[in-house]
Structure 1
Amino acid sequence: MSWRRALKDTARSGIAVEKKRLEPLIAVRGAAGLAIVIALSLWLFGPAAAASSAFGAFQAAIATFQRSWRPRPELAIASGTSLAVSTFLGYLTISKEPLFLALLVVWTFAAGMSWAAGPTIGLIASSNVAIMLVTVTLPTSVAQAAGHAAMMIVGGLVQAALIVLFPVRRWGAHRDALADALAAEADYARRLRHDPVASFDPQPLMEARNAAAVTPRQARRRPAELHGARGIAERIRPVLASLADPAMGVPAEGPARDRVRELLASAAALLDAAAHAIRHGEPVKVPPAALATFRTPDTGSILAGAPYRAMTRLNTLLQDVVETAGGAPQDGAPSGARGTARSAETDDRSTSGRAPTHPGARGTARPAPTTRSRPTFLALIPKALKAMRSELRRGSPVTRHATRVSAVAATGYILGTWLPLGHGYWAPLTSVMVMRPDFSQTYSRAVARLAGTVIGVAVATGAVQAASPGTLLSGALAVASAALMYLLMRTGQFATQACIAAYVVFLLGMGGEEWTQTVPERVLLTLMGGFLAMLAYAVYPAWETPRLRTRLADWLAAQGTYAAAVFGSYADPSASNAPDVRQALLTARTARAAWHAAVARATAEPVRHRGLSRTAADDAEDALAQLGRVAMLLEAHLPERGATPVPPAARFADALRESTHQGAKAIRERRVPTWDAVREALDAWETENPENADKVVRNTATLVLDTLTELSEALDTAVPPMTLDGTAPEKPDGPRNPKDSATR
């Protein structure tokens, strides 16, 4: 993509206003906390302290709006406290400009590195640095600075108290995450009716898994319907796929396919009902017709083998998810339904398809339920520091971001101080607020900051000129601007920045500053800060495009490990390898998510593909997605512990694991991977077991080799393959796919 188009696209995304669900009650609660802090500070300390403390309450409320599964009061308190510490340390050094500049560089670099610990921590840390640049100018003595810092902590405590006293949709985010996962599977079931090999995005399941990790305090208060359903949902997905896929035994057309379509439609209806109940905290309204479909007597005569087993397991799982979501036990539910629902919390330690040893063992086949634990906020500190240390290396995107933002903040502060405009902190403040580790967010936020600032300042200036507000009215207008910002925060950066600009104008007006002292210079310095941020990324970038091959290689290695773990389960059913399958699946999902995030960032970057074109990337992505789907089909029918082993599967699993890791290395080195070891293991399988007693497993192994071959063909069209010394080797004569020569 050219620079011109990249700038055009990022500018368009920066000023776009998205249609999102608004949360007015939460916005009112945040504004009420801000009003309480302003009123208390005005009464006790005066306008200057009120302006300073208002920033603490304002930032604390913003922190509670971030996408985080942590309790909201913790976020508010942490935000207010960290801002207080930043402000006090900044005031102690503000009188000595070189010392303050050094503190600004160190503090900004640390804030940039904090993105390694997650976007919520990174945003809070960056906002603290930006707001500190304003608040350090308000106190006039150390005692006042300490008082202002204390009021910032009070602002965080007030916001936390309001969250506890006036909860709005308590557990709402967790309910939404679990409901979204069930709704995604309902949509998947509907799509499978028309496309038996439809793809499924596991992102909703990953979000639900993240939401299921709770602190000890949350674990004691979590609603019952949030227990267990996620684990059942994890096990439903491969069963749906195996029921629909023709490779598992159901013809493409005929009575069996018609019955499968009916079952999938009923499954979608039941999953939607459970999702609606969990989202709204209501009892499940079960569609009677959907349950009746699974009780149709002639299903056993229409379906047989793997499809019938999939139907039976799907029936059990759907009964479980309905009961767990809050529905009454249904007539005809399997005797083990409650045991399955209760034990589903342990799905991180068991695979999705492992059947119990006997029908009556469902309640005892798995370990006792456990809860995924989330560390407390204090326990999170060493984890965050460890994540930051792991990214503190040359070439790390986070380290490059921290270096950029600290250099830009120092440059902006020096230029702002040197220019005869006053309030020079607006330039570094803008830079810190808009800069992010990736290109598209930095540029789109810079455009949104400038456009929003112009609009917000113009509106606020017009209001000030028309009404000439005093201290109380200025404070009220500031609270109204903050309330509007909280309401529109999820709709995009443009609306958010406009509200923030108006908020700052009104708040500083409450402190006694005339609009003529702030408006013109704010616009000019905001323009300077945005320009510095954009220039810094162009000069010292951290492009994602050159790292696409590494992301693809990581995904291949993870998918190969997952598929090998599944085949290993058939090789030795007596082994307790279910945790290995589950962990391999989670690793593969993480690698897939990293690949998609990298592609999204690379698509907006103004750089060439550097070895992996968009077409090659799309084809390789399709091949790896197919590899994961094939492994998932086999996982849906993992054998019982007493089942007959499939010894050739062990050799195939070893070859697959080793070959995919070698293939990942080849991709990183810009070579085309080969699969000779996998093909040899498959040929040996055919030789040792010509009767094909393990037909399903053997056919699945063939599909795995086909997907790997498709991956190589996709990469073979990307760039000329290279040897380790960088020279292009001679390509062999004949077709690239050895299977082609065998079929000709």
Structure 2
Amino acid sequence: MHVDSRMMDTVRLTTPGVGAVVRSLLGVLALTAAALYWISPTAAMWTAGAGIITGAIALQDTPGRRLPIVLISSAEVGAAALLGSLTTDYDALFVAVVAGWCFLAGMQWALGANAGFVAAAAAGLLVITPPESMSLPAVVATTVLTVATGLVQALLVWLRPPQRWRAQQHALTRAHRSLAQDARNLAANTDTPLDPAQLTWLREVFTNIPQHQRPKAYQLGYQLPERIAATLVALRRTDADLTELSSAAGEFLDAIADHGVAAHRGADRALQRVDAAAAAVTGSGANAAQRFAEQLHEAAVLRFGRLRGPDLRGSLRGSAGALRRHLVSTSPVLRHAVRLAVATAVGVAVARFAELHEPYWLALTVLLVLRPETAHTYTRCAGRLAGLAAGIAVASAISLLWPPTGMVAAVSAAAFVGVAYAVWGFGYIAVSAALAAAVVFLLGIAEPVEGTAVLSRLLAVAMGGGLALLTHVTLPDDAMIRLRQRAGELLMTEIDYAAMVMRAFVHELDRPADALATAWQRAFRARAAFEAASGATRLQDPTERQWLRSLRTALNAITGACTTMESSLPAEPVALSPEFVAAVDDYVDALRGAPPNPAALWTVDLPELLAADRRVRDVAHTVTESSSGARVLVAEMAAITRSLAAITPIPEPTWAG
């Protein structure tokens, strides 16, 4: 039931287009109506919930293959519906099943944040199971329908992908064909003139849409072709024999520009030629050839996901291995899984054995509030609870005017899910409010919504929030692990700030002053969290104290470098060589390190960063003679690299190995 964590982490939540959302919700309502009239209101509630969850996954911007991710999500929601319907007659067994499922849902954060979110959403379907028995045919039909609604979401997006995705795909096709022609020309004649500036139009295709609608997964879309073009120019300036490498690159770029069924096989075959040809290049062009091959591999990942990934059995073994590594007491993922299992089990037990009105909200609130990151649980708990309360109040007020049930409730739930998509860019509080209203009406599909029960819902939410915080206080994260997580978050935000300043040197940013101020605010908040964790941790090991001292020194150096770079930003854009811009982009990508993940400490790939710093210095001569700001940029990038290299390493925790 799991896929490789890198595949799940490709999902990045963005705001889909209106047309795509409408089609998704219409598909949900169609299958909900079928479940309501052919099976039961409970089956309709599960079907609607499953469609909303899988629709949210299907609508996200995912490079390569979206179908496996939606299939996994469909299987999980179907399994939740099956377990809930089979065990709901037996209260003690049902509580145990909820505890076990939520433990596994918490452990799935070891595979990535999105795997954890999908499992938690499926747990939400499980905890709202009504205490009513279902016949075996109804159980089977309900399970099949909940899985089918996820497949319908994938089918809808496949049949009619959002317009902006098509525009970006067409732009990338045009860019890849242009690069393929350049590579073939270079293979035929090394004196062929190449102009990397010919791809400047590509950037506008990706950035000429609202910020909240920009696909996170495709941010490399306009940068990567520019970097490939710059590397072709660098290769042309060497004295290496580029005939085979350029010919193989042309074949590969033509293959990824093709959208036929044979594109995947053709690209795989051509990429093997590229690797062999790059390995054969020696002398002054060896480094550029290797960099060129790496960039083509990145292009393959962007186009297909991964060309030669593990099969299903290998992916399952890898996922199981990742989970086993976190079965140690210091792992934040294991502690989150235990907290989630205990809190939801208590919430469901109270709902089953106590005389509470609107009892589902207790366990649902736990699922919405608890996070593996201590900071996200504590600092955002009040905001999430306020959002839930506001959404419940709005939905309850509407129910006083027009008490919905059945398909009326389903339509109302779908409408508020649409509102959640619309307010995604306004933050988690607004989204929490919209989702809470949607859940009120989702529950109303099976049981009529009573507007007068608003106080009971709010009381259950308050109890759920208190239960979530109590379990976090009772079973906190390991102090040293928490300190290292806060240190990683601080280092990441400081580096994000530095990367923003570097990009402002070589690219035009939307409202650069606001972007830099926002990055600085994030770094300031992260430093406060780090200092709080540092003050609460006693470091007994001298190695750990040395690590902390070196970390503080590096952080101060990065802050100083950022201040110097920001004060040297040119008032007007400066013309820089394409090679220099591509080298700075490579450095920024290496500097930002691995994506943040609760299951792993944030790190920077130091060898990759050192190599990227060398590439910047190798091409710096093309700009530093005419730009004082560029000289400052190159010097401060070297200072940041030295500071990060000077951080004293300490052994990784066993769960991070």
Q: Structure 2 length normalisation: TM-score? A: 0.59
Shift of 1:390: 1.6
Query: 5+ residue gaps in structure 1?
Result: 1-18, 180-221, 233-265, 282-313, 323-333, 557-595, 639-699, 716-720, 722-744
Change (3 A) 1:504 1:278: closer
- Aligned CA distance change for structure 1 residues 415 and 552 (closer, same or farther; 3 Å): closer
Tell me the equivalent position of 2:32. 38
Residue 22 of structure 2 is matched in structure 1 by 28
Residue 440 in structure 1 maps to residue 375 in structure 2: yes
Match in the other structure for 2:58: 64
How do 1:684-695 and structure 2 match up within 5 A? none
| Aligned equivalent of 1:156 | 150
1:501 to 414, 422, 436: 436
- Provide structure 2 residue ranges, at least 5 long, that are not aligned to the other structure: 1-12, 183-194, 210-225, 235-241, 254-270, 301-305, 492-521, 538-544, 562-590, 592-603, 619-633, 651-657
Q: Is the 1:228–1:341 contact (alpha carbons within 8 Å) kept by the matching residues of 2?
A: no
8 Å CA contact retained: 1:619, 1:711: no
Aligned to 1:147: 141
Displacement of 1:531 in angstroms is 1.6
- Counterpart contact for 1:422–1:521, Cα < 8 Å: yes
Q: 1:428 to 1:317 in 2, by over 3 A?
A: same
Kindly report which structure 2 residues correspond to 1:288-687, keeping only aligned pairs within 5 A, or say none.
Answer: 317-318=229-230, 320=232, 357=283, 371=300, 372-373=306-307, 374-375=309-310, 380-469=315-404, 471-516=406-451, 519-542=454-477, 546=481, 600=526, 603=529, 606-609=532-535, 610=537, 611=545, 612=548, 615-616=552-553, 618-619=555-556, 631-635=611-615
Is 1:52 the equivalent of 2:46? yes
Partner Cα separation in structure 1 for residue 468 and residue 166 of structure 2: 36
Q: Is contact 1:416–1:425 with CA below 8 Å preserved after alignment?
A: yes
Give 1:485 shift: 2.0
- Judged with a 3 Å threshold, the aligned counterparts in structure 2 of structure 1 residues 135 and 377 are, in CA distance, closer, same or farther, namely farther
Q: 1:605, 1:425 → 2: CA distance?
A: 38
For 2:111, the equivalent position in structure 1 comes to: 117
Q: Which letter does structure 1 place at the counterpart of 2:98?
A: L
Q: Matched residues in 2 for 1:546 and 1:364: separation? A: 37
Q: Percent identity, aligned pairs only?
A: 26
Contact 2:400 2:452 in 1 (8 A): no
In the TM superposition, residue 170 of structure 1 has moved relative to its aligned partner by 7.6
Inter-partner Cα distance in structure 2 for 1:536 and 1:605: 24
Inter-partner Cα distance in structure 1 for 2:49 and 2:474: 33
Q: Are 1:168 and 2:158 an aligned pair?
A: no
Describe the SS at the equivalent of 2:359.
coil
Aligned to 2:96: 102
Paired amino acid for 2:142 = H
> Are the structure 2 counterparts of residues 317 and 140 from structure 1 closer, same or farther at C-alpha, using a change threshold of 3 Å?
closer
Tell me if structure 1 keeps the 8 A contact 2:441–2:449. no
The answer to whether the Cα contact below 8 Å between 1:452 and 1:498 also exists between their aligned partners in 2 is: yes
| Shift, 1:431, TM fit | 0.9
* Mean CA deviation greater in 408-417 or 386-395: 408-417
> What is the alpha-carbon distance in structure 2 between the residues aligned to residue 704 and residue 452 of structure 1?
45
- Give CA-to-partner distance per residue, 1:512-538, whole Å, 9 cap, x none: 424157533222111111122122223
CA displacement, residues 539-566 of structure 1 (integer Å, 9 cap, x when unaligned): 322267656569989x99xxxxxxxxxx
Q: How far did 1:162 drift?
A: 0.9
AA aligned to 1:32 is: L
1:214-239 CA-partner distances (Å, limit 9, x unpaired): xxxxxxxx957469989x9xxxxxxx
Is this contact kept in 2: 1:62–1:486, CA < 8 A? Answer: no
Q: Does the 8 A contact of 1:430 with 1:529 survive in 2?
A: yes
* CA distance in structure 2 between the partners assigned to 1:393 and 1:505 by the alignment: 38
Number of equivalent positions: 473
Alignment of 1:67-86 (within 5 A): 68-69=62-63, 71-86=65-80
Amino acid at match of 2:347: G
Displacement after TM superposition at 1:152 (Å): 0.7
Q: Could you say which structure has the larger radius of gyration?
A: 1
What TM-score do the two structures reach when normalised by structure 1? Answer: 0.53
Root mean square deviation, CA, Å: 5.2
CA separation of 1:354/1:629 partners in 2, compared to 1, >3 Å: closer, same or farther? farther
Shift of 1:620: 6.5
8 Å CA contact retained: 2:51, 2:149: yes
Counterpart in 2 of 1:219?
Answer: none
Q: Is the 8 A contact 2:483 2:533 kept in 1?
A: no
Q: Letter of the aligned partner of 1:393 in structure 2?
A: V
- Structure 1 residues 103 and 463: CA distance shift in structure 2, 3 A: same
After TM superposition, give the deviation of residue 166 of structure 1 in Å. Answer: 1.6
**Alignment correspondent of 1:87:** 81
